[in-house]
Amino acid sequence: MEIRFYAGAADAAGTATTTLTGEQLTAGGLLDRLGEQNQALAVVLARCTLLVNGSAVRDPDEPIPGSARVDVLPPFAGG
């Protein structure tokens, strides 16, 4: 699973991308996994939107396949 962080999420993660190998997780499980070792990231993730292969995921129980590309988008200000 390729994960790309943007803006404040990338700052909190300390990277723009990371990879999780061969796992299927739920959206909520992915957020938990990403934030478990980084409290600053966990705080940001609580406000982020996930795009899985280009589609927004809002249900924390939705499965995300291990082959997915996930974009982690924090809230943006402006128009």
Q: What is the pLDDT of residues 13-27, one digit of tens each?
A: 999 999 988 778 999
Phi and psi for 43 in degrees, rounded to 5? -65, -45
Confidence band of 79 (pLDDT split at 50, 70, 90)? very low
pLDDT tens digits along 48-62? 999 999 999 999 999
Q: Quickly state the pLDDT bin for 5 (edges 50, 70, 90).
A: very high
* Distance of alpha carbon 31 from alpha carbon 23, whole angstroms: 14
**pTM of structure:** 0.89
Domains of the chain, start order: 2-73 (3.10.20.30)
